[in-house]
Amino acid sequence: MLKNIRVTLLALGLIGCGFIKQQKSNSVNLKIEELKIPLPSMSYVTKPDYQTNPINPNSKMIGYLIDGYKPTNNQFKKMTHISISFLRAVNSSGDIRMTQGWEKLDEVISEAHYNNVKAIISFGGGEYKVTSELMGIRKNRQNLIKNIIDFIKKYNLDGLDCDWEPSWLDDRVEMEVVNNALTDYYLIFIQEFRKALDNEFGKGNKTFSAAIMNGNSVWYSSEKQIAHFPKNGWWHYLDWVALMNYDNDLGSKHATFESVFGSKGSVSYWTNFGVPQSKIVVGVPFYGRASWGEEWLFYKDIVEMNPLIADSINYIMHKKNNFNKKVYGFNGTKIVTKKVAEAKRLNLAGLMFWQLAGDLPVDNEKSLLRAMSKEFKK
């Protein structure tokens, strides 16, 4: 049951795949809004009576694209899907547009379809702010859903990937209030969008997925746990969930095999949470990270700076710009091959990677996509 209450909410500061910026509490630039909007009187519970059509295990190799990046034909041939990033709302009324660089969006989609690759659009993404007014007011949320459906029709897209991540705040109380309230709206959005997608295109004809964090907590502090997703079956409305298995640790521990597949890794976490293995897509970074903010490097740049680096090496020492010399942890061909093999052994839905622009050409023996595809197709 919904009731109108006056609350102070912070705009949801979304933190993007591979480009997360940690800032001190006094520099968190999140606008505080005071809105009179309907809030659920208790934790919103989805009804797990809906089931998506089953998908085949080991059937997804998804590459994220940003800034208008157009894959080569050889890259297309090594993927099953591209996730074009990002589609965003430009106001609280639910009007939408693409981020910069996608003036030739239709060409990328056509090339994907020509190569028998599915093209899905990703909503949200790095440092994007979704306000409580957009998701908390039904007419705005419904307008957003309608606009996304129309966008999918206009560009002949194959589905939607939702990259809505929780805000991070140093004040735990504020953080829990903000995220728990907005999570309720997200769960409502998930149900309403799935219904609209099925009504417009027929069940199973378009996919609906979500990118989610490594674990159900704020990743920059193990002491700050929030219930971003309650245990109530929200995944029933999604075809798959893509785990963002990166940026949870830094330096030499960035995106390790154990952080994904270990006893305390993200796959174990989410399966214990209730998400079926058949709906899990494992994420792989095509970049290295030393710290928060700008201290990251594309994988291709790491190799170009260290052309004789062994496939088994997963970190380098590097001084970027005016930063101090630090350890940059990354995934080389050996570890990504191992991750693909383990995902296949567990019969997961597949793998995704952020982002394709970070890789070497696929005719290079050190290309991550080349290594992943080779193991994936065995």
- What CA–CA distance (Å, rounded) separates 200 from 188? 18
pLDDT above 90 (res 350): yes
Per-residue pLDDT reduced to its tens digit, 184-208: 788 889 999 999 999 999 999 999 9
Instruction: Please tell me the predicted confidence (pLDDT) of residue 332.
Output: 98
How would residue 30 be classed by pLDDT, with cut points 50, 70 and 90? very low
- pTM of the entire structure? 0.87
Average pLDDT, whole number, for the chain?
A: 84
pLDDT above 90 (res 137): no
Q: What letter represents residue 105's amino acid? A: L
Instruction: Parse the chain into domains and list their residue ranges.
Output: 2-42+54-288+332-376
Instruction: Please tell me the predicted confidence (pLDDT) of residue 292.
Output: 81
Q: Which range has the worst mean pLDDT, 64-78, 99-113, 194-208, 240-254?
A: 240-254
CA distances from 32 to 25, 93, 129, 138, 174 (A): 14, 18, 12, 21, 11
- The more confident residue out of 13 and 166 is 166
- What CA–CA distance (Å, rounded) separates 312 from 334? 6
pLDDT above 70 (res 41): no
- What CA–CA distance (Å, rounded) separates 372 from 340? 6
Instruction: Please tell me the predicted confidence (pLDDT) of residue 274.
Output: 87
Q: Once rounded to an integer, what is the mean pLDDT over residues 6-33?
A: 34
Instruction: Please tell me the predicted confidence (pLDDT) of residue 169.
Output: 62
Report the percentage of the chain scoring pLDDT > 70: 77
Per-residue pLDDT reduced to its tens digit, 98-130: 999 999 999 999 999 999 999 999 998 755 666
**Residue at token pair 């070497």:** 360
- What CA–CA distance (Å, rounded) separates 172 from 26? 15
Per-residue pLDDT reduced to its tens digit, 284-298: 999 999 998 889 999
pLDDT above 80 (res 249): yes
Q: Once rounded to an integer, what is the mean pLDDT over residues 12-37?
A: 35
Domain 2-42+54-288+332-376: top CATH class: alpha beta
Contact 291, 326 (CB under 8 A): yes
Instruction: Please tell me the predicted confidence (pLDDT) of residue 305.
Output: 96
